[in-house]
């Protein structure tokens, strides 16, 4: 089993000491080759759960009252920081909603990709540069930007779609076993969304597992091999058969989600 989340609780404590339980009793598993879609309305705890997997929540305010997260049988929440740093990037690739949160505004795209490689792989700077250009070529899609020009650009010089393609390259280039994508296309306009999704589908390795977080059921129906619905911090329904789920959601809340999505399709 690639990923096993066991009985996980995640809470936030504010400056006044008040505690919000953002995730409760979450149990999820992911095998290599699977894409687990986590859906639910804003604030339902999707990001809290998925970012916990890479221990990326700022702590404080986040803390873990109970539960365990195993990545190939290594427990993440109790792992020493140096080991965790090794895993991030190399074994766990992360793609966020807003690339500007993750890209440095001060460095050229190419240099940032090279840095990512050099941090994790014992290769020459030239080999890292080659790899960066190769990946920009892969994520370019039907854009006319050539990789050499793209590599020289600073993030603010690029469109949101081109920034997000860089994030995808950064998240996937080291061949992670687990890819965490938190609303990877939400900030993009609809045509770019479709291109970026296709790219993720094409590029993620068949033997990796993907945790795909989205409030968009359309994205889940295109990408996921299984899904979990979250509401108020709890997983209220899971399905190993997305097509069956969309035809017959069980939980009343899932039924309303699916109903709304179908209504929007018709509009």
Distance of CA 222 to the CA centre of its chain: 16
47 near ligand ADP, rule: CB under 6 A: yes
Contact call for residue 116 and ligand ADP (CB under 6 A):
no
* Contacting range for ligand ADP; rule: CB under 6 A; set: 38-46, 70-78, 100-108, 161-169: 38-46
* Dist. CA 211–CA 227, nearest whole Å: 10
Taking a C-beta distance cutoff of 8 angstroms, is the pair 1, 70 a contact? yes
The reply to whether 45 sits near ligand ADP by the rule CB under 6 A is yes
Q: Which does 44 bind (CB under 5 to 8 A by kind): ligand ADP, Mg ion, none?
A: ligand ADP
Query: Whole-number minimum distance, CB 235 to ligand ADP, in Å?
Result: 12
Instruction: Name the residue nearer to ligand ADP (CB basis): 167 or 213.
Output: 213
Residues 173-202 that bind ligand ADP (CB under 6 A): none
Judged by beta carbon, residue 40 or residue 89, the one nearer ligand ADP is 40
Q: Is 47 a binder of Mg ion (CB under 5 A)?
A: yes
DSSP letter (8 states) at residue 63: E
Residue 191: which region, alpha, beta or left (left: phi > 0; alpha: psi -120 to 50)? Answer: alpha
The pairing of strands 35-39 and 209-213 is parallel
Closest CB 10 distance from ligand ADP, rounded Å: 8
CA distance 203 to 83: 26
3-state secondary structure of 120: helix
Residue 109 Cβ, how far from Mg ion at the closest point, in Å?
A: 25
If contact means CB under 5 to 8 A according to the sort of partner, which of Mg ion, ligand ADP, none does residue 163 touch?
A: none
Q: Does 209 bind ligand ADP (CB under 6 A)?
A: no
Phi, psi angles (nearest 5°) of residue 156: -70, -15
Query: Strands 74-75, 62-71: parallel, antiparallel or unpaired by DSSP?
Result: antiparallel
Least distance to ligand ADP, CB of residue 4, Å: 20
> Can you tell me the distance from the alpha carbon of 130 to that of 231, in angstroms, rounded to the nearest whole number?
44
Number of residues binding to ligand ADP, judged by CB under 6 A: 12
Q: Which residues bind ligand ADP (CB under 6 A)?
A: 12, 20, 22, 40, 42-48, 61
């Amino acid at each position: 089993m690639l990923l096993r989340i066991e009985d996980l609780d995640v809470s936030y404590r504010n400056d006044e000491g008040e505690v919000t339980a953002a995730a409760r009793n979450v149990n999820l598993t992911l095998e290599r080759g699977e894409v687990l879609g986590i859906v639910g309305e804003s604030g339902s705890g999707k990001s809290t759960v998925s970012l916990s997997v890479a221990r990326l929540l700022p702590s404080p305010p986040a803390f873990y009252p109970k539960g365990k997260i195993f990545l190939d049988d290594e427990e993440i929440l109790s792992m020493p920081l140096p080991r965790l740093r090794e895993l991030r990037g190399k074994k766990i690739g992360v793609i966020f909603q807003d690339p500007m949160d993750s890209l440095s505004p001060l460095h050229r795209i190419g240099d940032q990709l090279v840095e990512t490689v050099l941090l994790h792989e014992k290769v020459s700077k030239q080999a890292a540069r080659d790899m960066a250009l190769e990946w920009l070529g892969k994520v370019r899609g039907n854009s006319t930007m050539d990789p050499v020009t793209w590599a020289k650009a600073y993030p603010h010089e690029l469109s949101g779609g081109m920034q997000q393609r860089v994030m995808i390259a950064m998240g996937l280039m080291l061949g992670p076993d687990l890819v965490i994508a938190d609303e990877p296309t939400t900030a993009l306009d609809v045509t770019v969304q479709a291109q970026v999704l296709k790219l993720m589908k094409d590029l993620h390795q068949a033997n990796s597992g993907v945790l795909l977080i989205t409030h968009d059921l359309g994205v889940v129906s295109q990408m996921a091999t299984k899904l979990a619905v979250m509401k108020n911090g709890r997983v209220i329904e899971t399905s190993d058969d997305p097509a069956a789920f969309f035809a017959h959601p069980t939980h009343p809340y899932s039924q309303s989600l699916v109903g709304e999505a179908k209504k929007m399709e018709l509009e």
